[in-house]
Amino acid sequence: MAGLGNIPPTIWWEDGTVRMIDQSRLPLVGDLLICNTYEGVCQAISGMAVRGAPALGVAAALAVALWSETVGASIDDLRFYLDELDKVADAIAATRPTAVNLMWGAERMKRFARDNADVGLDALRPLVLEEALSIRAEDEARNRALGAHGAALLEPGSRVLTHCNAGSLATAYFGTALGVIFSANDEGKIARVWVDETRPVLQGARLTAWELRMAGVPFTLITDNMAASIMRRGLVDAVIVGADRIAANGDVANKIGTYGLAVLARAHGIPFYVAAPSSTVDLTLASGDGIVIEERDEREVTGVTVSGVIEPRTSIETRAFDMITEAGDYALGMTKGHQMQIARKGGAYQFDAWLRIAPPSIDVYNPAFDVTPAEYVTAIITERGIARPDYAVSLAEACCGTGALHELG
C-alpha cells in the first residue's frame, strides 16, 4: 500500500463522538476537533474545519449517526424518528451547496434508515451507525483503487501540477488527486509535484504542501499565477486535480482557478486529469450549468488568517498570558481592522489572527468553485477505472451499481 508517512486520518468515530483534524488551522496548529452533536459537525463543515468532497460525504454520514446516537436515542416512535432523521440529513446537506458528496452521504443515510425500518427502532439505531462507518471505510478503499488506476497514466520522471488540496485531508484517508500522486511516487514515477498555493484560503500552501512533506514526496510550492510560466518552460507533464461535483456530461466543478489551469494545459499540450470517486459524479445534472456555485465570506479575500502557538520565554510572560486568558479567549485590540484572539489550551497559548490586506469597504467577489467544461478534461479517474470522452457514456458506466446520487433518488 502507498506510503503516507505520518499523515493522520481526517475524520472518524470514537467514543460516541465525531472526531476530525481541524484543517482550518493547519499546518501551524494541529487541533483535534471533537463534535458531540450533529450541529457541531455542521459548523465544522461550514467553517471548513473539514473540507474536500469525499470527506464531506463521510462527515454527513457520521453527523446523521451522531444525531441518531444522541437526540435520536430518546425518540420512541419509529415514524417520528425517520421524519426527524430526514430533516437532520437535509440540514447537513444544505451547509455547502456545491459539494455533491455531502448530499450523497446525507441521502444515503436517509435511504438506508427507511429501507431498514422494518427491523424496529431499537435494532435500527445501531445499524445506522454501522452504515456511517461503512461509508467511511468505503471511501478509503475507493481512493486507493483510484490512486492505482491514476498512477498507470503517468510515466517515470513525471512532473505533476496540482491545485487546491485533493489529498488525504480531503477524504476519509489517502486522497484522490494526491492519492494518484502517492501511488505513482511509490512506483518511482514522480520527479516533482508543483503545488499551487490556491488563493484565497491557501489550501495548496497549507494542506497539500504539508501532506507531501509528511509523505516524503518531492514538491515545489508556487503561486497560482506561475502555472503558465512553468508550462511554457516544459516543466509540467500532467495536471491532476480533484472535483467537488462532476455532471453527467463530464463538466467538473472544483476549486476556483481549476478552469484556468485546464485552459492553460490545453494550450501547452499537457494532459488534464480529474481524480474523483463515483460518489462525486452527479448524473442527475446534464451539465455543469446546473451546478450551484457557493460564494464565501469576503474576508477570505480582503485579509489573511494565520493560526499559531505562542511560546512564552520567561515566567513573567507566562503569568501575563495566564492573566489575559483566565476568563476565556482573549480578543486583542488591533489597529487597521486587524483582529487577534488568544486562547489557553493546556499549557500552550494559541492565537488566531486575521490581518487585513485590502482597503475597507470595497466590492469583493469570492466564488469557491468554477466549472471546467468537459472538452478540457483529458480523462476522469475513478475507482472503477479511467473514464474518457464521451463522458455521457463512460461516466454512466463507471457509476452503474455504485450507489451514486442518481441511484438514491
Catalytic residue among 186, 196, 244, 251: 244
254 near 242, Cβ under 8 Å?
yes
Residues 307 and 4: their CA atoms lie apart, in Å, by 25
CA distances from 211 to 48, 153, 195, 252, 311 (A): 17, 22, 11, 24, 25
3-state secondary structure of 356: strand
Query: Contact at 8 Å (CB) between 224 and 11?
Result: no
One-character DSSP codes across 119-168: G-HHHHHHHHHHHHHHHHHHHHHHHHHHHHHHHTTPPTTEEEEE-S--SG
Which residues, 6+ apart, have CB-to-CB distance to 237 below 8 Å? 154, 155, 157, 158, 159, 160, 270
Q: Which of 356, 363, 353, 354 is nearest to 336 (CA)?
A: 356
User: How far is the CA of 261 from the CAs of 155, 217, 256, 266, 348, in angstroms?
Assistant: 21, 22, 10, 9, 41
> Has 86 been annotated as catalytic?
no
Which amino acid type is present at position 242?
G
Collect all residues with Cβ–Cβ distance below 8 Å to 359 and sequence separation of at least 6.
none
Q: How far apart are CA 129 and CA 66, in angstroms?
A: 8
Q: Which three cell numbers stand for residue 250?
A: 463530464
- Strand, coil or helix: 17: strand
d(CA 171, CA 174) in angstroms, rounded, equals 7
CA-nearest of 233, 281, 285 to 377 is 281
Catalytic sites, residue numbers: 244
